[in-house]
A and B are shown apart, each in its own frame.
Chain A
Amino acid sequence: TNKERMLLVFTEWVKLLQRVPSDDVKVAVFISQMIEKGVLSETNNVIEFTKAALELSVGSFKESDPTSEVFTATDAFSKLIVNLLVLQDFSEVDRSSYFKLIFSVITFVFSEDQGKTENTFNERPYFRLFSSLLCDWEDISSHNFVKVEDQRCRAQLVEFNKEFYRVIASFLHAYQPIAFPGFSFAWITLISHRMFLPKMLKLPEKAGWSQLVLLFTDLLKFMAQYTKKQDVPDAVSVVYKGALRVFLAVANDAPEFLVENHYELLNNLPHVYMQLRNVVLSAFPKHVSIPNPYNPKLSIDTVKICDQPPNVFYDPVHDLKTLKKPVDNYLRIPSASLSRTISSNVFRSEYEKDNGIGFDTVSVDVKLINAIVLHVGIEAALEKQRTTANAVFNVKSSYYTLLADLLNDGTTEVRFHVVQAIANQLRYPNAHTQWFNYVLKNFFNSEEWGENKTEIQEIIVRTLLERIVTNKPHCWGIIVTFTDLLKSTECSLMDLPFVKDVPEVELIIKHL
């Protein structure tokens, strides 16, 4: 049969690669003969060959003695794919479509295997295929494909390179844990692979960032979905540990990725992962030097780097939905009716379950609130650069009053999420941290809340405290803001009823 003949060709390929180094001319000759003899002449042949080679690779993995070389066929298949991408003439079909076709077939074989074997499915040969593909591609693509002699081909490959990673990233998104739980651990290992993650982080013009955010979101959503307050399945705990470690590595190597994408990442980070949230929020750009936040003489307004607004990769304005116009109009010319429109449109159409600390459901659109708060902060920082600090560091400015109105008109739940969203911007010293520090301090001491003052103060203290009592890291902005509240002469935290009511909290605050 056609399939048997293809298997023969593939087996010969596997044998060849064991006998000669992969840059030997015989390897190129083999590929050239494959093409000449029409082994892969049509789409259906490519599909059939890919299926046969993958099924053989997976089969040989399953049958091999586990102490021997179990990935020989898999690794050979990876080298075949890379050679096909590099050596063929792509004048009629484009490389990207060809690569996607092969990957699609791999996906279908994968899906069928895991669908049929269910909990005896073994992820390892598939993991190995993707891992080896990434390694083999790195080898050929290094130094702008300098190993490729044909200059025209080399130029095409340089052009194609980022597409290679983007195709892999898009397929990884399809393989996410919620879709294929039997592949979860391999998946997490793949998104953090040394030949994938650093590459995606460093593609020129941040070309890999959107997809990375999507992949991290896939991971966070999976964790969020299956982290219950009562009990977390052991396997999910292990997932969390791995995720934490990956985020810490990213914070070390590429903190700017966390800095610029904090908004999107936090939209999917469950509340209960307090420390992970702090890891994301306490990242700061590599060349910024941070003054000691515990220095009692520190005043945020004297910190020079607070002139700089942080970069925000994804503009939250895109998430404002129907409130974009009212918010922007209000910022230009505040009015009570615009304020009412905003305040009444932050609710969801139905309850959603949420594993919060102290709550199980949300009736507000938290993402929308996060978007509004960040958008206002971005605009305030821009306004400060355009005009003066007084334009925004001013309780009468529209930037301030928009947020204050949300608190005034809002339910306890709205207040809570607005304050949380503000706290998410209290990060390393920058223009947003400085402005939101001003906002929160003034909210705390303001007399405009009337009988709601104590509730709002409690929400503020709770929000800051929960981010400080966790193990490190702690955000600079949170420490500085909390210290400002502790030092406050207008109001002593120790006198507040909700502090006095709970001895544990009283003790913590006294200690601080």
Chain B
Amino acid sequence: QPPRDMSKQIDEMLAQDRSQNSAFQNPLFHPGLDYWLESKRTLLQPYETMPAEMASQLESSLLNCPDSLDADTPHLYHNVLSLPHPTSIFFPNEPIRLVSNEPVDPTKTHPKHNDIYSRTSLARIMSKFDLDTLFFIFYHYQGTYEQFLSARELSIRGWQFNKVNRCWFYKEVEKLPPGMEQSEEISWRYFDYQKSWLARRCGAEFVYREEEFERI
């Protein structure tokens, strides 16, 4: 427990530090080091009641309180496609990423519906995008959070990403009528992002090799 008045002791400590510690000799550390040491005084002996100066600093801190925009992930380089486009003044100006605390739809049962992204507005919006849009984001916003979310959404819809040819594949399972030799027929589709920008059926020679596909 610190005794009542520590000012003298603190002064002595600081003087001793100054003479012994080489950091004090380095002019580059001044005057910052001196200011920093002053803050130790209040740590060692906090004020009983908040002095006016401290109250004013606290209020100033409150006024300048960093918000969620300040805490957001920095992006210095902006993908050309992600720059804001000029839009009509009749379109809403508010950002898409407003916080909303609507509960997750209880009918959604995919395991990813409980991950940290499921409740974010971007992920929710993407759940309403059609495949074309998702593929566009995936291939043209490489390395971004948006690409990640589009991959997540595609994965939720059953698509798998092939690491070798960089295409997304979908396994179609068709239940056959009873009495046939097999109970279901499996066919594969892939999205051709390079040429036709369409989903195409895979040829009969297609063989699914699990190791070629990304585990998302």
Q: Which chain B positions have C-beta within 8 A of A299?
A: none
> Is B46 touching A107 in the complex (CB atoms < 8 A)?
no
* B38 within 8 A of partner (CB): yes
> Would you call B66 and A183 a contact (CB within 8 A)?
no
A177 to B43, CA, bound (A): 9
A115 and B28 within 8 A (CB): no
Task: Determine the distance from Cα of A334 to Cα of B59 in the docked complex, in whole angstroms.
Answer: 55
Q: Is the Cβ of B60 less than 8 Å from the Cβ of A120?
A: yes
Whether the pair A184, B74 counts as a contact (CB closer than 8 A) is: no
- Give the complex CA separation of A226 and B105 in angstroms: 44
* Most A Cβ at <10 Å: residue of B43, B53, B57, B143: B57
Nearest A-chain residue to B39, judged by Cβ: A179
Are B35 and A22 closer than 8 Å at their CB atoms?
A: no
- A447–B76 Cα distance when bound, in Å, is 74
Distance in Å: Cβ of B15 to nearest Cβ of chain A: 19
What's the Cα separation between A185 and B70 when bound, in Å? 13
Residues of B in contact (CB 8 Å), total: 39
The CB with the most chain B CB atoms within 10 A, among A78, A109, A123, A228, is that of A123
| Interchain CA distance A135-B61 in the complex, whole Å | 23
Decide yes or no: A18 and B70 within 8 Å by CB, A183-B61, A185-B62, A225-B46 being known contacts.
Answer: no
Stretch at the interface among A43-51, A91-99, A320-328, A368-376: A43-51
A127 within 8 A of B: yes
**Chain A minimum-CB-distance residue to B63:** A185
Q: How many A-B residue pairs have CB under 8 A?
A: 143
Check if A107 sits within 8 Å of B32, measured CB to CB.
yes
B71 smallest CB distance to A (angstroms): 5
Stretch of A69-77, A454-462, A500-508 with 4 or more beta carbons under 8 angstroms from chain B:
A69-77
Within 8 Å CB of B77, what residues of A? 17-22
The answer to whether A181 and B29 have CB atoms under 8 Å apart is no
Given contacts A44-B28, A108-B33, A233-B50, contact A181 B76 (CB under 8 A): no
* Residue of B42, B43, B53 ringed by the most chain A CB atoms within 10 A: B43
Q: How many Å from the CB of A231 to the closest CB on chain B?
A: 11
Residues of chain A within 8 A of B39, CB atoms compared? 111, 174, 179-180
Shortest C-beta distance, B151 to chain A (Å), equals: 15
Known: A72-B76, A123-B61. A186 touches B54 (CB 8 A): no
Residue pair B66, A186 in contact (C-beta under 8 Å): yes
Q: Given the complex, which residues of A lie within 8 Å of B70, measured CB to CB? A: 71, 124, 127-128, 131
Give A51 to B28 CA distance when docked, in angstroms: 9
Residues of B within 8 A of A233 (CB): 50, 55, 58
Distance of A41 from chain B, by nearest CB (Å): 15
Q: Give the residues in chain B near A350, CB-CB below 8 Å.
A: 1
Report B-chain residues with C-beta under 8 Å of the C-beta of A228: 49
B56 within 8 A of A: yes
Q: Which residues of B contact A30 (CB under 8 A)?
A: none
- In the bound complex, what is the Cα–Cα distance between A19 and B66 (angstroms)? 27
Cα distance A87–B49 when bound, in Å? 49
Task: Report whether B74 and A114 are in contact in the complex, using a CB–CB cutoff of 8 Å.
Answer: no
The residue in chain A whose Cβ has the minimal distance to the Cβ of B60 is: A119
Given contacts A17-B76, A79-B76, contact A182 B28 (CB under 8 A): no
In the complex, chain A residues 176-235 whose Cβ is within 8 Å of any chain B Cβ: 176-186, 189, 193-194, 221, 225-226, 228, 233, 235
Flag whether B36 is at the interface (Cβ < 8 A).
yes
Interface contact B33-A185, CB-CB below 8 Å: no
- Any chain A CB within 8 A of the CB of B157? no
Docked-complex contact B61 and A112, CB < 8 angstroms: no
CB neighbours of A112 from chain B (8 A): 31-32, 35
Residue of A23, A78, A128, A353 contacting most chain B CB atoms (<10 Å): A128
Q: Is B99 an interface residue (CB 8 A)?
A: no
CB–CB A118/B42 < 8 A: no
Instruction: Give the CA-CA distance A225 to B55 in the complex, in Å.
Output: 13
Shortest CB distance B122–A (Å): 15
Q: Given the complex of chains A and B, what is the CA–CA distance between A109 and B33 in angstroms?
A: 9
Q: Which of the listed residues A119, A132, A183, A228 has the most CB atoms from chain B within 10 Å of its own CB?
A: A119
In the complex, the answer to whether A193 meets B61 with C-beta atoms within 8 Å is: no
Name which residue of chain A comes closest to B43, CB basis. A179
**Chain B residues whose CB sits within 8 angstroms of the CB of A76 once the complex forms:** 76
Kindly state whether residue B64 has any CB partner on chain A within 8 Å: yes
Write the nearest CB–CB distance from B161 to chain A, whole angstroms: 16
With A21-B143, A114-B35, A123-B66 as contacts: A178 and B56 at CB distance below 8 Å: no
How far, in Å, is B134 (CB) from chain A's closest CB? 22
A179 in contact with B40 (CB, 8 Å):
yes
When distances are taken between beta carbons in the complex, the residues of chain A under 8 Å from B48 are 353
A221 to B47, CA, bound (A): 12
User: Chain B contacts of A116 at CB under 8 A?
Assistant: 35
Q: Is B65 an interface residue (CB 8 A)?
A: yes
B21 at the interface (CB under 8 A from A): no
Q: How far is the CB of A184 from chain B (nearest CB, A)?
A: 5
A-B contact pairs, 6 of them (CB 8 A): A111-B35, A111-B38, A123-B66, A174-B36, A179-B42, A235-B59
Q: Knowing that A22-B77, A179-B42, A185-B65 are A-B contacts, what are 16 other residue pairs whose CB atoms are under 8 Å apart, sorted by A's residue number?
A: A51-B28, A71-B70, A108-B29, A111-B36, A111-B38, A115-B35, A131-B71, A183-B61, A185-B64, A186-B64, A225-B46, A226-B49, A233-B55, A235-B55, A235-B59, A348-B1
The 6 closest A-B pairs by CB, nearest first: A108-B32, A115-B35, A75-B74, A182-B57, A111-B36, A111-B35
